[in-house]
Structure 1
């Protein structure tokens, strides 16, 4: 039976780009697994980890040695290997020498093209630990990073500065040096809650130890589900609900290691602005979750996910409310200014905007579209006035 052990790898970095985190994590895991497969190392279930400050994976039941391989080397054709008297030629002796044996120890194989000299040998498998550095390096080098950066005095390049490498096969540290860092059995917790190093004694301890001591939920999916629960609970506490935007949820998950939901509010008067504008700035600019009532109307509350469990959450709430207020105030101002003129009164301004050099202004384009609409309406028996 093949002897196995669990394998754990974690690369600690500065904050990774949130929109690229999932892609980086999946690519790293796939490339690492491909490296194991190419080395003919068997393994079991694979789990990947991704937070703003770490990329990692856990591979269960990884073989601690490559299997021995039977290798067959083909030599010259038998016709060319022996002369008329049956004595080995230089071709036969050269092949035997390259195999580290004698001609009489060589075998023969028959193919459709004739009979050939051959030599079979068993190549002993290498320890997995001796191959892992190259596999990890290759996986990191192949990550889809459009632009890498340097830091410090080193020529090492990566998407963000790297600070530590945790690499274990079973209870043993996998010796390696990647990105100018030496591997160890140490990781680090949350930047604020537990910035000190944490020793991981075995791969099985990783997630639990990091979560309980380090205040870090390393599993992306687990953290995402936790944020979903927190948002739903927070919305229910103010008699509202949040239609979860999965893209926003993924981005927020990539921004935090220890999610904490905070409910904020804004002045009722801002609800006079088209809700689409408010929702857009909450989601895109602030990464907030807008809250709706049971009639699907936007209400003057939002939910933000903090990356820290503060002793004074009111300070965080006030800060988020203070940031969103000027954005809403600007939106309200421009909405009110736009409402002072009708669309018809704005037509003349379109004459000043070039649509395309040889096609005239936006005004001329609008006139053509209007005429085309009226023509189509007339052909189908519609109201030409409404179509213009």
Structure 2
């Protein structure tokens, strides 16, 4: 008799949230496989499925019987298990009975805390069907559902109502139940193409039966590829190329079980509207895929994915066209109306919109950002007056009808309206770019003016919100300060703008309202941004020790490295240094130096070591190495050539190794001891000129 079989579990529901479908599929599969593995059933190759109306998993080669279980239990302490006559107490008898054994069957185990009774035994494994039935309710309970709902007249809750459950082990139905629904082999197909019940023969036939007999492509990834293929083919038929947004593709895939592409069109006059408006309307509001021509310009066409094969696709297309036309007509109206009033005339109206009660209106914020932009402008090679004017205009497009309808187009519409007004000096482009980066992986502003506005905007927001006591906590970050902090660090690093953060935040604090004390939170905002910078480097694959090595450096009378560009050069120099043979040896040596210096309390250490007190050849050699090396490294560090500075440090390896092999630092002669400690302190200072080398991995 074969002791393994295939397993199929399918949970049938009403339409699941499309943006959560992939995660639900993955977690459903992972929880089931993990539970089966923990039970010793050794699940084999696994394939997971998800459609709008089902989550499923098929597992090959599952053991049909749990292996014999080894049972180990610790009982009462021996002292409490037997009385003065050596007879078992009620504690010992009760423990033995709970194990199904006699007291004489129990072992005695010695531990650091004394002797204990111990039971070792075996029990037969349970059938897989029993374990699966017990596991399923646990899986449903553990699924990370964002918001549960109830249905019917019972107390069950899930992300959507559950209507059927298929559980097959081989070709046999496993008796199970979840959320009040009993298991069977009966599944359901497409709502329209396959509404009849479908009897699933086995796990192996599941996917094929659904596809061939019920018009359901159960494999989420296969369905995604099919949607993509159809969209691209339809766009070619329309004479262009489909604009594929990955998030939209994922969402559409999660909305259909049997995709069918439909080509729609709209009137050419709508192409006079900015293309971003058309794209936003089609993608964001209607889940359509826009089509571009060979010249990269939008065509008056789109592709939509229906969840069925219509006998009259032209009518389906006309229905979609009737839906999109009013939206495009509204956008056309907004575009015409907004341009009647120059964007520069909307500045005063910003006073009507509150940014934050204690920080004032959007106008107040614009004035602060403008003042800070004017101060920063020379450091970006930008005319101060231009920076100030651009900053005052930065939020004016929020007052337009178009941005009111399409808030995701803020900045983009500012660029269009500023250009229509005839504003020059790079202001239109800066109004769009100062929002960048908008999201992880988005590009930073490319123009110097855009960079000035982006930096000033984020610095003002960070210092202001921290100053009123609303710094992010836990998952709460209503002002998106984490994104603002990361964006600020990315702009400064990637544009190579040498702006010290502490000074930047100090300047921003100066412009806050008088009753908002920004100076008090400058250090906190700095630490917050450094945490964002650390995450930035970790995402690039750099070791956390590299970040900490630079983070611990102190410059300018004990201040941390607060210039992101300088920090970036140091951390990449450390990364390159770590590839050298000498790096780990010197890191270990520097740890040893620091430990020795920490333990030298009370020893009179001179400012500099004296050549006259050097006795051992190894310390003379190290002294001779350190003196010229200090000057070389200092010069290179001043020039910002940190990689070359660290490479120079690597030349000290032999001298350092010889010193620790041959020299006793804590000599009985206190004068000699102090001199050697002075030599090590000089070495330590050399090691921390670029980064704290002791923080680097030494193994």
**194-203 vs 22-31, which deviates more?**
22-31
Cα distance in 2 for residues equivalent to 1:237 and 1:369: 49
Structure 1 residues 227, 79: CA separation in 2 closer, same or farther (over 3 Å shift)?
A: same
**Cα deviation, residue 341, structure 1:** 2.2
Structure 1 residues 312, 2: CA separation in 2 closer, same or farther (over 3 Å shift)?
A: same
**Cα deviation, residue 64, structure 1:** 0.7
What is the root-mean-square deviation of aligned Cα atoms in Å?
A: 2.6
Cα distance in 1 for residues equivalent to 2:372 and 2:203: 68
On the 8 A contact 2:10/2:167 being kept in 1, the answer is yes
**Cα deviation, residue 145, structure 1:** 2.2
Residue in 2 that maps onto 1:22 = 22
Structure 1 residues 311, 80: CA separation in 2 closer, same or farther (over 3 Å shift)?
A: closer
SS, match of residue 291 in structure 1: strand
**Cα deviation, residue 381, structure 1:** 5.8
SS, match of residue 284 in structure 1: helix
Q: Which structure would you say has the larger Rg?
A: 2
Residue in 1 that maps onto 2:317 = 317
Residue in 2 that maps onto 1:326 = 326
Residue in 2 that maps onto 1:276 = 276
Cα distance in 2 for residues equivalent to 1:274 and 1:378: 33
SS, match of residue 311 in structure 1: coil
On the 8 A contact 1:2/1:63 being kept in 2, the answer is no
On the 8 A contact 1:108/1:115 being kept in 2, the answer is yes
Residue in 1 that maps onto 2:294 = 294
On the 8 A contact 2:270/2:328 being kept in 1, the answer is yes
Task: Give runs of aligned pairs for residues 1-388 of structure 1, distance below 5 A.
Answer: 3-75=3-75, 88-90=87-89, 96-107=96-107, 118-357=118-357, 360-377=360-377, 382-387=382-387, 388=389
Residues 82-127 of structure 1: CA deviation (Å, up to 9, x unaligned): 7898x65446655544444445544555666776654432110000
**Cα deviation, residue 81, structure 1:** 6.5
**Cα deviation, residue 71, structure 1:** 2.0
SS, match of residue 254 in structure 1: helix
Structure 1 residues 96, 156: CA separation in 2 closer, same or farther (over 3 Å shift)?
A: closer
Unpaired runs of at least 5, structure 2: 390-699
Cα distance in 1 for residues equivalent to 2:101 and 2:377: 91
Structure 1 residues 15, 354: CA separation in 2 closer, same or farther (over 3 Å shift)?
A: closer
Cα distance in 2 for residues equivalent to 1:81 and 1:54: 55
On the 8 A contact 1:88/1:103 being kept in 2, the answer is no
**113-122 vs 9-18, which deviates more?**
113-122
Q: Comparing both structures, which one devotes a greater share of its residues to strand? A: 1
Cα distance in 2 for residues equivalent to 1:358 and 1:68: 68
On the 8 A contact 1:25/1:50 being kept in 2, the answer is yes
Structure 1 residues 163, 382: CA separation in 2 closer, same or farther (over 3 Å shift)?
A: closer
Cα distance in 1 for residues equivalent to 2:355 and 2:180: 54
Cα distance in 2 for residues equivalent to 1:176 and 1:272: 60
Residues 265-288 of structure 1: CA deviation (Å, up to 9, x unaligned): 111111111111111111111111
SS, match of residue 325 in structure 2: helix
Q: Comparing both structures, which one devotes a greater share of its residues to helix? A: 2
Structure 1 residues 88, 16: CA separation in 2 closer, same or farther (over 3 Å shift)?
A: same
TM-score, normalised to structure 2's length?
A: 0.52
Q: Which has the higher contact order (CA 8 A, sep 6+)?
A: 1
Cα distance in 2 for residues equivalent to 1:314 and 1:361: 51
Structure 1 residues 83, 376: CA separation in 2 closer, same or farther (over 3 Å shift)?
A: closer
**Cα deviation, residue 239, structure 1:** 2.6
Structure 1 residues 117, 293: CA separation in 2 closer, same or farther (over 3 Å shift)?
A: same
**137-146 vs 212-221, which deviates more?**
137-146
TM-score, normalised to structure 1's length?
A: 0.90
On the 8 A contact 1:43/1:61 being kept in 2, the answer is yes
Structure 1 residues 154, 93: CA separation in 2 closer, same or farther (over 3 Å shift)?
A: closer
Structure 1 residues 19, 113: CA separation in 2 closer, same or farther (over 3 Å shift)?
A: closer
Structure 1 residues 3, 276: CA separation in 2 closer, same or farther (over 3 Å shift)?
A: same
**Cα deviation, residue 228, structure 1:** 0.8
